[in-house]
Amino acid sequence: MLAHALLLAAAVATAPPTMRLDYIHTGNSAEEHFVLDGVALEGPWPGRLDRLIDDTNLGQYLFEVLDRKTNRLLYSRGFASAYGEWETTPEAKTQWRAFSESLRFPAPAGPVQVVVKKRDRQNAFREIWSQIVDPAAPEVDRSAPPAFKVWAVMKNGEPRDKVDLLLLGDGYTAAEMEKWHSDARRLTELLFAASPFKEHRSAFNVWAIDTPAEESGVSRPSDGIWRRSPLAAGYDAFGSERYILAFDNKRLRQIAAAAPYEFIEIVVNGRKYGGGGIFNQYATVASDNAFTPYVFVHEFGHHFAGLADEYYTSDVAYGPAAERLEPWEPNVTADPKAARWADLIAPGTPLPTSWPKEEFEKEQQDYQAKRHAIRAEHRPEEEMEALFRRGMELETKLLGAGPYAGKVGAFEGAMYEGRGYYRPQSDCIMFSRDPVGFCAVCRRAIERVIDLYATGK
Ligand SMILES: [Zn+2]
């Protein structure tokens, strides 16, 4: 027993390096291809060595690392990708595009086969790419990461025992480093004010890297503003003015390699409302908007636990409910009985569950029209914030009323569809900007991911 325990302790103490496989993900709406871009070694593996296999069943994609000699599964993780979003846009019907992406896993002792799988319409994972990687190959990049300053915003233990969240600032000049440090601390406190992160604060480390920019701010194409910022994050991803993504993945990963990390939050220096979050890739948020706390926590929910958007109100051109496929995201379902989270539903709750849907939709029509007008006329950001505040007050009252407010059930209207998809509670931070936090189903999904990365030590 003792010898076994000692062996285990020794194995944990000598964490392998992190291996990063960079590839190009390319195609159009009809076909999809992967091309090897390179393999690099980073610092010590920052994760648990006793939870190498992903049992959370999250992600549109899944990658597996198999030992070449024995075919034994060494590591797996689910993930989503910008490509996976882009392939559903109209642009993908008329042309090809390429996206840089990376897979990270503990560096193996010998050659491995890395397999990428994608879900089919029945949610079964099917192989779409396979690549042999030999860790001894001379072309494996062993160069050190760039010499940016890495610092701990909050350190609660060794990276292997904790969830390691890395904050990266984009569009902060050298003269704004103090603002970056104060924004990093402020955002960290915002995240750990939200349940269930609040209760699991000690399971996390938060790291930050200082990456001074030549100019303040990031690119905002629809406002005619362009910046060559260090992480190349920018607004208007896929034509959505509030959607901030960082498409230069290789640059992002090379910088991030300076710190131990499992999750990345890119903070863009500026006031304009915006953000984004891709499961197991990274999330983004603008630093100085009145709704930064909401955007940050909401988008981090996408990135950290693969949570779906529960909102749907941009239009009401309802499709037939029969067409709805069960989503992989843990907080939405096509099942009006919500079997996925049945254990959280109190006996006697009607399924589907009633809520003031018509009233809500009526209010939303007026509200969305005003929102579009403010952006179309390039009105000051204060006007958008004021509109959001008025909407928030109305919705909080409306969604907080009725016999099933605050209860778990199956509330119709989720994932951009007014009919046929159901969310777990009438209100949640994945549904609205109301100060209600995550619903019970979202909280449970987040806790499962925390457990995958933190040991509880
Ligand atoms: Zn939720």
Q: Tell how far the Cα of 265 is from the centroid of ligand 1, in angstroms.
A: 20
Q: Tell how far the Cα of 298 is from the centroid of ligand 1, in angstroms.
A: 10
Structure tokens at 217: 């701010």
- The pLDDT tens digits of the residues spanning 375-415 come to 899 999 899 899 989 989 999 999 999 899 999 999 999 99
Fold of 13-133: Immunoglobulin-like (2.60.40)
- The pLDDT tens digits of the residues spanning 349-382 come to 999 999 999 999 998 888 888 989 998 999 998 9
Q: Tell how far the Cα of 437 is from the centroid of ligand 1, in angstroms.
A: 8
Q: Worst-scoring range by mean pLDDT, 12-26, 170-184, 295-309, 330-344?
A: 12-26
Q: Tell how far the Cα of 78 is from the centroid of ligand 1, in angstroms.
A: 20
Give, to the nearest 10 degrees, the angle between helix 440-453 and helix 292-305: 60
Q: Tell how far the Cα of 75 is from the centroid of ligand 1, in angstroms.
A: 29
Q: What is the mean pLDDT of residues 261-282?
A: 97
- The pLDDT tens digits of the residues spanning 74-100 come to 999 999 999 999 998 899 999 999 999
Q: Tell how far the Cα of 140 is from the centroid of ligand 1, in angstroms.
A: 42
Q: Tell how far the Cα of 264 is from the centroid of ligand 1, in angstroms.
A: 21
Report the chain's mean pLDDT, rounded to a whole number: 93
- The pLDDT tens digits of the residues spanning 185-204 come to 999 999 999 999 999 999 99
Q: Tell how far the Cα of 427 is from the centroid of ligand 1, in angstroms.
A: 7
Q: Which residue has the tokens 């220096």?
A: 269
**Using an 8 Å Cβ cutoff, are 242 and 294 in contact?**
no
Q: What is the mean pLDDT of residues 259-286?
A: 98
Would the pLDDT of 9 be above 60? Answer: no
Beta bridge partners of residue 73, listed in sequence order: 66
Beta bridge partners of residue 285, listed in sequence order: 267, 275
Q: Tell how far the Cα of 444 is from the centroid of ligand 1, in angstroms.
A: 10
Q: Tell how far the Cα of 431 is from the centroid of ligand 1, in angstroms.
A: 7
Q: Tell how far the Cα of 163 is from the centroid of ligand 1, in angstroms.
A: 21
Q: Tell how far the Cα of 405 is from the centroid of ligand 1, in angstroms.
A: 13
Q: Tell how far the Cα of 272 is from the centroid of ligand 1, in angstroms.
A: 25
Q: What is the pLDDT of residue 314?
A: 61
| Residue 267, phi then psi, degrees to nearest 5 | -100, 115
Q: Tell how far the Cα of 366 is from the centroid of ligand 1, in angstroms.
A: 25
Provide the percentage of residues in the chain whose pLDDT is more than 90.
87
Would the pLDDT of 31 be above 50? Answer: yes
Q: What is the domain partition of the chain in residue ranges?
A: 13-133, 149-306, 321-434
Q: What is the mean pLDDT of residues 35-46?
A: 97
Q: Dihedral sign, CA of 424, 328, 56, 296?
A: negative
Q: What is the pLDDT of residue 10?
A: 45
Count of all residues that appear for the chain in the document:
457
Q: What is the pLDDT of residue 456?
A: 79
**Using an 8 Å Cβ cutoff, are 206 and 153 in contact?**
yes
Question: pTM of the entire structure?
Answer: 0.94
Class at the top of the CATH hierarchy for domain 149-306: alpha beta
Q: What is the pLDDT of residue 70?
A: 97
Q: Tell how far the Cα of 312 is from the centroid of ligand 1, in angstroms.
A: 13
Q: Tell how far the Cα of 328 is from the centroid of ligand 1, in angstroms.
A: 14
Q: Worst-scoring range by mean pLDDT, 182-191, 204-213, 280-289, 393-402?
A: 393-402
The confidence band for 146, taking pLDDT boundaries of 50, 70 and 90, is confident
The confidence band for 3, taking pLDDT boundaries of 50, 70 and 90, is very low
- Tell which residue, 384, 83, 370, 33, has the closest CA to residue 238: 83
Q: Tell how far the Cα of 145 is from the centroid of ligand 1, in angstroms.
A: 38
**Nearest-10 Cα torsion for 328, 329, 330, 336:** -70
Q: How many Å apart are CA 29 and CA 70, to the nearest integer? A: 36
Would the pLDDT of 268 be above 50? Answer: yes
Q: Tell how far the Cα of 424 is from the centroid of ligand 1, in angstroms.
A: 6
- The pLDDT tens digits of the residues spanning 220-255 come to 999 999 999 999 999 999 999 999 999 999 999 999
Q: Tell how far the Cα of 56 is from the centroid of ligand 1, in angstroms.
A: 17
Q: What is the pLDDT of residue 215?
A: 97
Q: Tell how far the Cα of 350 is from the centroid of ligand 1, in angstroms.
A: 19
The confidence band for 275, taking pLDDT boundaries of 50, 70 and 90, is very high
Q: Tell how far the Cα of 310 is from the centroid of ligand 1, in angstroms.
A: 7
Q: Tell how far the Cα of 439 is from the centroid of ligand 1, in angstroms.
A: 4
- The pLDDT tens digits of the residues spanning 327-346 come to 999 999 999 999 999 999 99
Q: What is the pLDDT of residue 13?
A: 57
| 266 three-class SS | strand
Beta bridge partners of residue 63, listed in sequence order: 77, 116
